[in-house]
Structure 1
Amino acid sequence: MQGSYFKNLLEKLFQGEITYEQYLDLKDQVKDSTDEEISSGLQSLWDGYSLAEPMELATKFGVLSNIHQQIGVENTRNSRRTNWWRYAAVLAIPLLIISTYYAAFHQKTKYDFTVLTSEGEKSQLLLPDGTKVWLNSGSKITYANDFSEDNREVRLIGEAFFEVKKDAKHRFVVATEQVNVEVHGTEFNVSAYPDERDTKVSLLSGKISLIDPTNNKTMATMKPGYQVAVNKNLHRWLSYSCDVETEALWVKSVLRFENAAAGEVFTKLEHWYGIKIHIENPDTSIRYGFTLKSESIREMLDLINKITPINYKINGEEVFIRYK
């Protein structure tokens, strides 16, 4: 590992100025380095700042809990200090949260933690209140550093499945552009991708209320086994029964379609693989039923070809399809 280059990348990371190419370099260097090298680099950077006060314990716990959930490391008291830093350094870049630490050290102010997933990737995190969140491809979740029992609110762009820690006295809120979801303890899925017409909320267990963010009025109260779709253009919503477990199978790395319209299928496949699909001659009458687990893009397209004959071409991250 090149010591000075590593320290320079860390400096850019803490200041929020790191580029994507530099992020990849830093991630590779962290993976290939020893605990002692990482500790030395971070300590050198740490000593270069005049910190007004240490990081709040609650903030540190929240960050490290998220790190554990992301990389599957058990929280043990005997973990070495350098290992904590290794995990933090590896994870902090894709989560884009460590760039807020510097401001937090120098002044008492509110700031946000933001967790991102790239196209074709998924992640899991644990919120400070014990709520578990699975974040789907191309999604972002944001919550404040003062997230606590009195402020259990997150903002979501994209799709996430929530297993909310039960607390009858304090509501948990998922805020999206079209609808806010209020719960006290339950399991549900929210899909709020900017490029999709509908924001969809599916309830697996418990009870939730959907709130109109423009007037704070209740739009609907949901019961398990139902999905509500809020149309972004018409500002209307529709409630219907659905197989919520199937809707949430993506958290187990399974994507299943049952009599699904072609448009819905290809939209979900775009998020699943992190690609852009172009249909030359779309047919809205076509319905699909199949399951994906670890299939490649080409294997997926061959599967579709067996159901409805197609010609396809893969060009990098773009796929062109024409029905025969």
Structure 2
Amino acid sequence: MREENRYRIAELILKFLETKASLEEIVELQEWISLSEENRNNFQKLRNIWEMTNPSASQMNINIESALLKTKIRAGIEPRKKIVSTSQKVVFYFQRIAAILFLPTLIALSIIMMNDKDEQLAYYKASTPYGSISEIILPDSSKVWLDVGSTLEYPSRFINNTRRVYMCGEAYFEVHADKKHPFIIQADELEITATGTAFNVSSFAQSLEQKVTLISGKVSVSQGNKIKYLLPGQQLTYQRNTKRMTIASIDTFKYTAWKDGIIAFRDDSLETIFHRLEQIYRVRFIVNDLDIKKYTYRATFKGETLDEIINCMEEGTPVKFRKRDDNHKEGDTLIIEVNKD
């Protein structure tokens, strides 16, 4: 099945389960289900998951045949001709909000069901919204703290000889020790391998740099045919534009404090600070004087609001902030202008 068809089937199933499918969409879904027993079984499994995570749905007696019959009677139509599919694997992406997960930080969830070598395996995709940090326990008991604006994809259980996950953004890992089954993180161009250790990975899509910071244990970082090894207290920086990897000893607190709700700036440029605040809060800074970006600032915040942070920055730097709050609504991006004092 072509990728766009997979997304289309996922969309049809989700609309049907939410009772939002049109007559044409119900007919299209029924045709796909009738193509094979595998399709019917996959639909049933996904419907069961839906009912388990949506208690009210189990009382609705969701039934594709009865829904189709009712719509046919109302419209007086015949189903379209079947199209034979040669697909051996079906992938379903379900974009459901945090209510599916019983997590305090309410992370968004995608469920991916795939038939891989006759074995059903579910994949979960977690993402963290503005103003929160998510803590996730993986099937092997490894722990992951997921920063704001980040995503993590992981299976319902690890099979074969490796434990592989996929991430974008920033995450802190405490990997359960298991030398026989390496823990592998795929972060865009980098592949990070560990057996039992604690480390931080920063890999935002819009950033020119990827960073791996090791707290304890040992990790290897590979890119193409290049591989580097880190020791505790070291950080690897990968430049996407030059494909260059460098290692330096650093203050790890600055790069890992976020998982405890701490924002740590250590003589960082205001440009770097503005970028970090934009990641955490729904805000955008407009700097009217480029010299401002060169100023540095050192501070530690925990629990402060955005207003409290920029007030402190006004006292410690020669800059002034002004909000553009005309017609600003909750959920909109707040625009803040930055000028020299």
Q: Same fold (TM over 0.5)?
A: yes
| Shift >3 Å, 4+ stretches | 10-18, 45-50, 107-111
**What's the % identity of the aligned pairs?**
26
1:301 to 2:310 alignment:
yes
Deviation at 1:152, TM superposition (A): 0.8
* Partner residue in 2 for 1:257: 265
CA contact (8 A) 1:137 1:274 kept: no
Deviation at 1:264, TM superposition (A): 1.8
Deviation at 1:259, TM superposition (A): 1.4
- Say if 1:121 and 1:71 are closer, same or farther in 2 by CA, change over 3 A: closer
* More helix as a share of residues: 1
Could you state the TM-score of these two structures normalised by the residue count of structure 2? 0.66
- Structure 1 gaps, min length 5: 1-9, 19-37, 51-65, 73-90
- Say if 1:39 and 1:296 are closer, same or farther in 2 by CA, change over 3 A: closer
Say which SS state the counterpart of residue 158 (structure 2) adopts. coil
1:321 to 2:338 alignment:
yes
After TM superposition, the structure 1 = structure 2 runs for residues 118-129 of structure 1, keeping only pairs within 5 Å, are 118-129=129-140
Superposed CA deviations along residues 230-274 of structure 1, whole A, max 9, x for unmatched, are: 011111122111111331111110111111122222211111223
**AA in 2 matched with 1:197:** L
* Partner residue in 2 for 1:71: 104
Deviation at 1:95, TM superposition (A): 2.4
* Partner residue in 2 for 1:6: none
Deviation at 1:196, TM superposition (A): 1.3
Aligned length: 253
**AA in 2 matched with 1:309:** P
CA contact (8 A) 1:120 1:271 kept: no
- Say if 1:226 and 1:46 are closer, same or farther in 2 by CA, change over 3 A: farther
**AA in 1 matched with 2:295:** I
**AA in 2 matched with 1:171:** P
* Counterpart Cα distance in 1 of 2:202 and 2:20: 31
Note the aligned Cα RMSD (angstroms).
3.0
1:96 to 2:104 alignment:
no
* Partner residue in 2 for 1:53: none
- Say if 1:17 and 1:197 are closer, same or farther in 2 by CA, change over 3 A: farther
- Structure 2 gaps, min length 5: 1-12, 22-52, 66-99, 325-332
Of 277, 282, 292, the residue aligned with 2:290 is: 282
Deviation at 1:157, TM superposition (A): 0.6
CA contact (8 A) 2:235 2:247 kept: yes
Say which SS state the counterpart of residue 276 (structure 2) adopts. helix
CA contact (8 A) 2:140 2:176 kept: yes
Could you state the TM-score of these two structures normalised by the residue count of structure 1? 0.70
- Say if 1:162 and 1:117 are closer, same or farther in 2 by CA, change over 3 A: same
- Say if 1:191 and 1:14 are closer, same or farther in 2 by CA, change over 3 A: farther
Deviation at 1:109, TM superposition (A): 4.7
* Partner residue in 2 for 1:203: 214
* Counterpart Cα distance in 1 of 2:110 and 2:56: 19
Deviation at 1:116, TM superposition (A): 0.7
Deviation at 1:202, TM superposition (A): 0.4
Deviation at 1:46, TM superposition (A): 6.4
Superposed CA deviations along residues 74-111 of structure 1, whole A, max 9, x for unmatched, are: xxxxxxxxxxxxxxxxx5xx42235x46x78xx95555
* Partner residue in 2 for 1:42: 57
Deviation at 1:317, TM superposition (A): 2.1
1:246 to 2:254 alignment:
yes
By relative contact order (CA 8 Å, sep 6+), the higher-ranking structure is: 1
Deviation at 1:121, TM superposition (A): 2.4
* Partner residue in 1 for 2:195: 184
* Counterpart Cα distance in 2 of 1:279 and 1:134: 32
* Partner residue in 2 for 1:23: none
**AA in 2 matched with 1:97:** S
Larger radius of gyration: 2
**AA in 1 matched with 2:57:** L
- Say if 1:250 and 1:17 are closer, same or farther in 2 by CA, change over 3 A: farther
After TM superposition, the structure 1 = structure 2 runs for residues 126-145 of structure 1, keeping only pairs within 5 Å, are 126-145=137-156
* Counterpart Cα distance in 1 of 2:304 and 2:207: 24
**AA in 1 matched with 2:299:** F
Say which SS state the counterpart of residue 168 (structure 1) adopts. coil
* Partner residue in 2 for 1:81: none
* Counterpart Cα distance in 2 of 1:17 and 1:275: 34
CA contact (8 A) 1:129 1:148 kept: no
CA contact (8 A) 2:17 2:62 kept: no
